[in-house]
């Protein structure tokens, strides 16, 4: 994960330099939002636990979650944008009673490269469409606590492919500053879920999958380099 983040940040630092060298406009975007999650395996496990323990506090089902992140890219003279992006997606379910608590934090990174086409050039309010491809990488924790003892943390991991398609728009309030909004659909599902190195298994004997697929939205701000 550290190598992946280092690659993304390195791309963010070098993209403006390369864009200026080619006579193109670089931009940086910071955004937040949320989306729906499928989470079929995780929610089935949570429901099975709840049914096996009637009357006790149960796990909540994970149906959606917030996200925040950023993108860096550049626009060509033909209105095409290319760049890289990373979002932190939040997802958790927990249960607690007098004997203790268990908090499953299925937080993950969505890392992708993307291409977009805008109807008008950067700096002009416009609609755009885009698509991205990359990976989802879980980076969460299971936090277990019991009365009188310090909480214990166990790392949650897993990774898989990510694809998304979306449409949105930019409202430019000046030559270099815009408010942006995007909505679309994301497919993002890990191949397995590991906790402290062990793989979660469904009742069918298959590896659990964390599924972040669903409709999503983002809102934020975009800063563009001045025109040459």
Residue ranges covered by each domain of the chain: 2-224
Asked if 37 and 66 touch (Cβ cutoff 8 Å), the reply is: no
For residue 108, the cross-strand partners are 89, 138
The pLDDT tens digits of the residues spanning 74-84 come to: 999 999 999 99
The pLDDT tens digits of the residues spanning 32-47 come to: 999 999 999 999 999 9
- 2-224: CATH topology: Porin (2.40.160)
- What is the pLDDT confidence band of residue 12, given thresholds at 50, 70 and 90? very low
- What is the pLDDT confidence band of residue 107, given thresholds at 50, 70 and 90? very high
Q: What is the pTM of this model?
A: 0.86
In angstroms, the CA 223 to CA 58 distance is 45
State the Cα angle at 20 between 11 and 174, rounded to 5°: 95
């Amino acid at each position: 994960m550290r190598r992946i983040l280092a690659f993304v940040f390195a791309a963010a630092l070098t993209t403006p330099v390369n864009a200026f060298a080619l006579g193109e406009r670089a931009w940086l975007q910071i955004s937040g939002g949320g989306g729906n999650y499928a989470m079929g395996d995780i929610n089935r496990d949570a429901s099975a636990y709840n049914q096996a323990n009637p009357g006790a506090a149960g796990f909540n089902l994970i149906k959606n979650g917030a996200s925040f992140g950023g993108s860096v890219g550049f626009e060509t003279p033909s209105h095409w944008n290319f760049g890289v992006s990373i979002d932190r997606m939040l997802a958790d379910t927990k249960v607690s009673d007098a004997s203790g608590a268990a908090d499953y934090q299925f937080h993950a990174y969505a890392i992708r490269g993307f291409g977009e086409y805008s109807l008008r050039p950067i700096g002009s309010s416009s609609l755009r469409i885009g698509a991205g491809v990359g990976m989802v990488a879980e980076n969460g924790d299971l936090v277990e606590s019991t009365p009188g003892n310090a909480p214990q943390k166990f790392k949650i991991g897993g990774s898989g492919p990510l694809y998304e398609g979306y449409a949105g728009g930019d409202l430019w309030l000046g030559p270099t500053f815009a408010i942006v909004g995007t909505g679309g659909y994301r497919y993002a599902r890990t191949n397995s879920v590991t906790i402290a190195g062990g793989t979660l298994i469904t009742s069918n004997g298959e590896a659990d999958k964390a599924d972040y697929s669903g409709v999503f939205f983002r809102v934020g701000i975009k800063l563009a380099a001045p025109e040459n």
